[in-house]
């Protein structure tokens, strides 16, 4: 029976699907926004949001003394490391993403549909953090027309 099995299979074996979701999580934490298919974006959203919740729990760790608080923070960091397998990404998750989302109770990511991919008509989407600014690459794209206008003014 399939009771309480909500996982979308994505036409992959479980090990392949787990590896895919972990890599998507890593990319989202590293780049802040990734372009993928709508099905993969919807599949990775709960995985990533659970990682942010671990980061928020580490920020809000309470205890009788500093030793207990440090132990809880290490525990949450180790749980995140078990999923991500990269210390720098765990640090980025806990220091940037969880801090930016500390006042939000859920819904840390946004999925923006982009239309269909030209090659195979797969529906594409951006998945990005709600509370973080746009990635560095997006600002460069917006600045390109301004440079062309400055060139035209210089020539005139």
Domain ranges of the chain: 14-131
Helices first, then strands: H and E counts in the chain: 6, 3
Q: Which of 21, 40, 25 is nearest to 90 (CA)?
A: 25
**Which residues, in sequence order, are CB contacts of 70 under 8 Å at separation 6+?**
none
Name the class of domain 14-131. alpha beta
Give the pLDDT confidence score for residue 13 in this predicted structure.
Answer: 95
How far is 18 from 23, CA to CA, in rounded Å?
9
Count CB neighbours of 87 within 10 A: 11
Count CB neighbours of 14 within 10 A: 9
Give the pLDDT confidence score for residue 94 in this predicted structure.
Answer: 97
What are residue 109's DSSP bridge partners?
Answer: 129
pLDDT one digit per residue (tens) for the chain, 156 residues: 878 887 899 999 999 999 999 999 999 999 999 999 999 999 999 999 999 999 999 999 998 899 999 999 999 999 999 999 999 999 999 999 999 999 999 999 999 999 999 999 999 999 999 998 655 555 332 333 445 555 555 565
Give the pLDDT confidence score for residue 4 in this predicted structure.
Answer: 83
Give the pLDDT confidence score for residue 155 in this predicted structure.
Answer: 63
Give the pLDDT confidence score for residue 134 in this predicted structure.
Answer: 58
What are residue 107's DSSP bridge partners?
Answer: none
């Amino acid at each position: 029976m399939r009771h309480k099995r909500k996982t979308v299979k994505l036409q992959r074996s479980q090990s392949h699907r787990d590896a895919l979701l972990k890599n998507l999580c890593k990319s989202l934490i590293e780049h802040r926004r990734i372009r993928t298919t709508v099905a993969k974006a919807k599949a990775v959203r709960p995985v990533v949001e659970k990682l942010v919740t671990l980061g928020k729990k580490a920020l809000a760790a309470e205890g009788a003394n500093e030793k207990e608080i440090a132990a809880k923070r290490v525990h949450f960091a180790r749980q995140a490391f078990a999923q991500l397998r990269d210390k720098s990404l765990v640090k980025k998750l806990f220091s940037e993403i969880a801090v930016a989302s500390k006042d939000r109770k859920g819904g840390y990511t946004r999925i923006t549909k982009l239309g269909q991919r030209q090659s195979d008509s797969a529906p594409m989407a951006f998945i990005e953090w709600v509370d973080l600014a746009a990635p560095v690459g997006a600002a460069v794209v917006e600045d390109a027309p301004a440079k062309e206008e400055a060139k035209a003014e210089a020539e005139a």
